[in-house]
Structure 1
Amino acid sequence: MKYFYLLIFLFFPLFSGAQNLQTYVQARLQHPVLNGAWWGGYAAYDNAEIFSVQADARFTPASTLKLLTTAAALEILGPHHRFQTRLYAQHRPDERGVLNGNLYLQGGADPTLGSTRVTGGETWQDVAARWARAVKRAGITRVEGSIIADESAFEGPSIPNKVNWENIGNYYAAPASPLCFNDNSFEIHFKPQPRADKPAEVEKTVPQVPGLTLKSFVTTDGKTKKDNAYAYGAPNQYEMEIYGTIPTNFMGFSIKAALPNPAQFAAEALHNALRAEGIAVGGRPLAEQTAPDYTEMQLLDTYESPELKDIVVIVNKRSFNLYAEMLLRNLALHAGKKGSVQNGLNELYAFLKKNHLADEKTAVLYDGSGLSRDNMLTPKTLVNTLLFMAKSPNFPYYYNSLATPDDRGDLLLLRRFLKPKKKVQEVRVKGGTIDGVKALAGYTHDKDGRIIAFALMANNLASKDEALFRIHEDIIKHLLALPEQTKNNRPF
């Protein structure tokens, strides 16, 4: 039977000019990698369907869900939107320079605060030093009160409810906070260990996280170069455990984990930066959920993020979950609501309904990043969103936020486009991969330059066999070759 499948795959493209692309796609789906799995796909021009396979069925989208979140953010907030974080002094200093009160960091839900992931961003050390200089310029020589991180813009769980336990504690599931700092993550460095099956001892964390204790159950693996270590720790939990394996190494090895309380860490960073400027602080750094009255306070500094259009590039090309979750909550803040997961989802649903892209039956959502397996989208919903954005004034920003097949940021999901490298720039993709799920959605252009939107989604996969990627590549190559080629005019 496997030789029959091989013959189909080798010779079917030769005669695709005589066949409907719908038939071609369905033939490719007979591959053994999809045995027992669930696959749906849809491709369309703005005004015409190209092929449809279970296009109205619901699938776990993984990170292709970010296409919806970023579309809504660009349309609602605008591509040039900047997030602001403000620093206040509770009172003016007295004649000796003493502030008889607190300093407040008002969290403005900037995903990028203290991060250099986005062009124009600054390190957390530079941001903290900037705040300290602002305090010094205000004539403050001593703070009798505390440094308080105001987290009141958000409410509810800092991690979406359906994210699984294995992910919580790791940088890619870092908790959202109105005061994100250093991408809400830190590095765990292990001591060198060149021998396999030995304990991996923690050497240090970068940066140091006050109050954090780590217990490592990690061992070394001499057969792989992959990081298979996972940090386990809930938000606000300062005792973390690490399990799994790391490669044997002579120089040490590091992984990233989630900060237990990013706002607390931001307050501590400012506390240390003030000490470096010779400014003493009487109270200890705190994170609080209740907002003070800022109307009579002295504004010392307003820190602005890079523009949203540049943040969206990191969300889609790098598939960065934290930024996606922060954008979801910002949809709620823009609507005058608290920045909770549910309020953000309500605004996303409203955007989808208003523009006739989806309803509760075609989009069942629990987060803004796709990290939960319980999210469900139809292939048609993804394509509807892509086609809607293709007509938007914000389309250039949206289109350029997606990866090309040779962009390592989206895990090189279309590796064979590089062998040989052809028409790479004619394809833009957003991939999605979690256990048992591989999805791909984006744009191609046909031979006449007309734009095509597509979504290819596989669920319940039993293995990590990359044969599915080859199927997806072949479907996209046929889309690139439209109008249909003849057997004497093979595009690849």
Structure 2
Amino acid sequence: MKHFLSLAFLLFPFCAQAASVQDYVRARLNNPVLNGAWWGGLAAYADGTRQEIFSVSPDMRLAPASTLKLLTSAAALETFGPHHRFQTRLYADRQPDAQGVLKGSLYLRGDGDPTLGSKRVTGGETWQAVAQKWAKAVKQAGITRVEGNIYADVSAFEGPSIPPKVNWENIGNYYAAPASPLCFNDNSFKIHFKPQPFSGKPAEVASTDPQVPELELKSFVTADGKNKRDNSYAYGAPHQYQMEIYGTIPTNFTGFTIQAALPDPALFAAGALHNALREEGIAVGGRAQTLQTEPDYAPMNLLHTYSSPELKDIVLIVNKRSFNLYAEMLLRQLALHAGQKGSVQNGLAELEKFLTKNKLADRGGAVLYDGSGLSRDNMLTPRTLVNTLAFMAQSPNFKYYYESLATPDDRGDLLLLRYFLKPKHRVQDVRVKGGTIDGVKAVAGYTHDKDGRIIAFAFMANNLASKDEALFRIHEDIIKRLLSLPEGN
């Protein structure tokens, strides 16, 4: 009896504290912004105890938007390790003759490096620099002329290059760029509009960067003097070179730039090598092509191996900058690692195995269609997100996972907590991953209580009728309450 009383005495402060937080959260949810909407949330200590602090519908399946990236990036770090580098290899199918003529072809073997030809990640290089390295490697091999073709081998992936549940409105834009075993320049290009200072007038396309061969652009965009944001959308499916642009851009005197998805990134990469070879004085008799069936590389000559930045730096862009393409590429990498083709379905199967093996999702706790959260049909429970965060808090890779999340004063990840800085309050103790798509606002991450104990949390709202940012303030207030624990300390 004595021991029972002692235990009860020790638990009483925590139980009272948890009840207090629970009541506080429920009171904050009594806000008109949530009328007719669904909200689920959970917070628990992530120090190994998984002691719950509050829960509101923690097992309700909700669209997670980009908080889904927390699962994909966790699986990638645990599967490959933070220092893993992805590689792209360049082959010649035979030796050149005495005059340096390659009476054969060159092959770019795509193995799914998300960052090839991109400066977005620390340590990355521009697509022009990568193509130049390839061309110099050909020259150093003594090749003065290539009689055959330049093949971009895309056989490592199969199936749709864009997850099937992604909205048509998003396809064609850079944030829904198609995945490819040979990503190049983030699989996107810039569209520059001519200056248009008059509201309601057409916005004409001036140029693209880079130039995309055979691309046909039609602009139906108008300038809007009242809207200061880009509200234009490029419409075009993968491998489709006729694209149309609709919507509005702000009125301007200097021109305006948007980004769209490359129709065929692998073909563009092969074409870039073709052009770089000519700049090195190496003639090419054939043309750039994509190759769907893997050739036999065993007898070929390896001319160059290009390595990506480390995975930890890629994951930082996935989470802190919420970059969809890299998340989708990492999903496919999970499939390649398992000896499968890099498809959406194979990647999702491996992600599900990761969740099941580590007991992160109950049955039905994760219904997924992509690795980035771009589909409105994805469903996660707050518990699955918190379980994943708590699991990673005990992982040897936690440092890299934690640092990949945004701080409240980070200009990435949609500035979800920008008012948290007024006044600036323990910003260093909060890390978040946000998610926002139509009717969805979610945030998940870590905070620390006053004793330094780490807390994992996930807040998810669905079926929101407006873009009212009052919900962000509610989420900030709950995080501040978590920071104040333990109460009375």
* Cα-to-partner distance string for 1:362-400 (whole Å, 9 max, x where unaligned): 000000000000000000000000000000000000000
Out of 236, 241, 248, the position equivalent to 2:239 is 236
Q: Which residue of structure 1 aligns with residue 82 of structure 2?
A: 79
Q: Which residue of structure 1 aligns with residue 120 of structure 2?
A: 117
Matched, 1:437 2:431: no
Structure 2 matches for 1:65-464, cutoff 5 A?
A: 65-464=68-467
- Counterpart of 2:67 in 1: which secondary structure? helix
1:24 corresponds to which letter in structure 2? Y
* Cα-to-partner distance string for 1:235-262 (whole Å, 9 max, x where unaligned): 0000000000000000000100000000
Question: Contact conserved, 1:189 with 1:255, CA < 8 A, in 2?
Answer: yes
Structure 2 CA distance, aligned partners of 1:305 and 1:440? 30
Q: Which residue of structure 1 aligns with residue 11 of structure 2?
A: none
Structure 1 CA distance, aligned partners of 2:446 and 2:352? 23
Structure 2 CA distance, aligned partners of 1:363 and 1:108? 28
Aligned CA RMSD, in angstroms, stands at 1.1
Structure 1 CA distance, aligned partners of 2:63 and 2:99? 61
Gaps of 5+ in 2: 1-15
Q: Which residue of structure 1 aligns with residue 44 of structure 2?
A: 44
Sort the Cα spacing of 1:348 and 1:52 in 2 relative to 1 into closer, same or farther, 3 A: same
Q: Which residue of structure 2 aligns with residue 26 of structure 1?
A: 26
Structure 1 CA distance, aligned partners of 2:419 and 2:301? 58
Question: With structure 2 as the length reference, what TM-score do the two structures score?
Answer: 0.95
Q: Which residue of structure 2 aligns with residue 490 of structure 1?
A: none
- Counterpart of 2:290 in 1: which secondary structure? strand
Sort the Cα spacing of 1:133 and 1:239 in 2 relative to 1 into closer, same or farther, 3 A: same
4+ runs deviating over 2 angstroms: 16-19
Structure 1 CA distance, aligned partners of 2:92 and 2:70? 40
Structure 1 CA distance, aligned partners of 2:488 and 2:32? 27
Question: Contact conserved, 1:60 with 1:437, CA < 8 A, in 2?
Answer: yes
1:392 corresponds to which letter in structure 2? S
Question: Contact conserved, 1:349 with 1:359, CA < 8 A, in 2?
Answer: no
Structure 2 CA distance, aligned partners of 1:76 and 1:134? 32
Size of the aligned set, in residue pairs, is 471
Structure 1 CA distance, aligned partners of 2:18 and 2:147? 81
Question: Contact conserved, 1:104 with 1:149, CA < 8 A, in 2?
Answer: yes
Gaps of 5+ in 1: 1-15, 487-492
Structure 1 CA distance, aligned partners of 2:346 and 2:363? 15
Question: Contact conserved, 1:181 with 1:262, CA < 8 A, in 2?
Answer: yes
Structure 2 CA distance, aligned partners of 1:217 and 1:72? 42
Sort the Cα spacing of 1:235 and 1:360 in 2 relative to 1 into closer, same or farther, 3 A: farther
Matched, 1:63 2:70: no
Structure 2 CA distance, aligned partners of 1:92 and 1:456? 59
Question: Contact conserved, 1:118 with 1:306, CA < 8 A, in 2?
Answer: yes
* Cα-to-partner distance string for 1:430-479 (whole Å, 9 max, x where unaligned): 00000100000000000000000000000000001000000000000000
* Distance apart, 1:17 and its partner CA: 7.5
Question: Contact conserved, 2:17 with 2:486, CA < 8 A, in 1?
Answer: no
* Cα-to-partner distance string for 1:123-150 (whole Å, 9 max, x where unaligned): 0000000000000000000000010000
* Distance apart, 1:303 and its partner CA: 0.1
* Distance apart, 1:484 and its partner CA: 1.8
* Distance apart, 1:359 and its partner CA: 4.0
Provide the identity percentage: 79
Structure 1 CA distance, aligned partners of 2:344 and 2:131? 28
* Distance apart, 1:77 and its partner CA: 1.0
Structure 2 CA distance, aligned partners of 1:366 and 1:113? 25
Question: With structure 1 as the length reference, what TM-score do the two structures score?
Answer: 0.95
